[in-house]
Amino acid sequence: MVYADNDPIVLTHAEALLEGTAQGRTDYVQGDIRDARTILDAASRTLDLDRPVALSMVAVLHFVADRPEQSALDVVEAFTSRLAPGSYLVITHFTADFDPEATARMENVYRSSGTDLQARSQEEVTTLFQGWRLLDPGVVASPRWNPGGDDTAVTDAQAGCYGGVAQLV
């Protein structure tokens, strides 16, 4: 397993906590999600990217604002272009679909602190899986994704995000 983040505090915690075992190795990569090449090059020291892997992009793509020079879809494609068939892609993403007013307030708070935050609709999140085979139930409110789980514990508005899992065939 390889975990990547650009927060120096996370790096400090990772160095203290990550240890490999006989069952597998773990690693941490200090990097920005907008720089897939650097992250994947470092991750390839631990992972065999010629074999299927799972790429988990959980609660991170909403920090990538769509700009002419790079969009969230560009970021996803930069990572997934190096993955082998059979790999899985997991995405959760913040949305305004359930509570637009609260979402607008949250976006303003993040932007006022200098951090990009861009909520995306269900359609926009679904587009991030372009070229992948979405698994059932598709891109849905995150509490609804696991059909075997308790999908009544958290409302869609409380979760505020969509989730989906897909496979590269």
Look up the pTM and report it. Answer: 0.90
Q: What is the DSSP letter of 137?
A: T
Domains of the chain, each with CATH number or no CATH: 1-47 (no CATH), 50-167 (3.40.50.150)
Q: Which of 88, 84, 85 is nearest to 129 (CA)?
A: 88
- Per-residue tokens: 98: 């359930």
83-132: pLDDT as tens digits? 999 999 999 999 999 999 999 999 999 999 999 999 999 999 999 999 99
What's the mean pLDDT when you consider all of the chain? Answer: 89
